[in-house]
Amino acid sequence: MQKSMKKKLNEEIPPTKVMKLGQAVYAHALIKDDDTRFVAAMMPHSIAVYEKSDGSTYISSMNMGLMGKIFGGETDIIMGKVQADDDVILKFLMH
């Protein structure tokens, strides 16, 4: 993101990385049907790692399980699986 901001806006930002995570089987389950395809706007799922001005590093992610509950149905089930995967990937943060 730093290179993009510098190039397009001539602005410096603190170190920021965005990782895109996705499972084809989850994406397919949601975008194959008209009723759930709207969640494609949230695909692939992003996790951001960034540094604040105090020099500390932070990680942020949308709670996909909670988002799924808002939408309900099949979306809730699949996004719950995405959240479970995120929990495993980010488990090291809880220690």
With respect to residue 26, please indicate whether it lies within any of the assigned structural domains: yes
* φ, ψ for residue 84, nearest 5 deg: -60, -40
Q: Does the model's pTM come out above 0.85?
A: no
Question: pLDDT tens digit string along 53-92?
Answer: 899 999 999 999 999 999 999 999 999 999 999 999 888 8
**Within a 13 Å sphere around the CA of 9, how many CA atoms are in the beta-carbon half?**
8
Q: How many domains does the chain have?
A: 1
* φ, ψ for residue 65, nearest 5 deg: -65, -45
With respect to residue 79, please indicate whether it lies within any of the assigned structural domains: no
95 pLDDT tier (thresholds 50, 70, 90): low
- Do residues 53 and 90 touch, judged by C-beta distance below 8 A? no
Report d(CA 15, CA 55) in Å as an integer. Answer: 10
Question: pLDDT tens digit string along 1-58?
Answer: 788 888 888 888 888 999 998 899 999 999 999 999 999 999 999 999 999 989 999 9
With respect to residue 76, please indicate whether it lies within any of the assigned structural domains: no
Domain housing 30: 2-62
With respect to residue 41, please indicate whether it lies within any of the assigned structural domains: yes
The three-state secondary structure class of 24 is helix
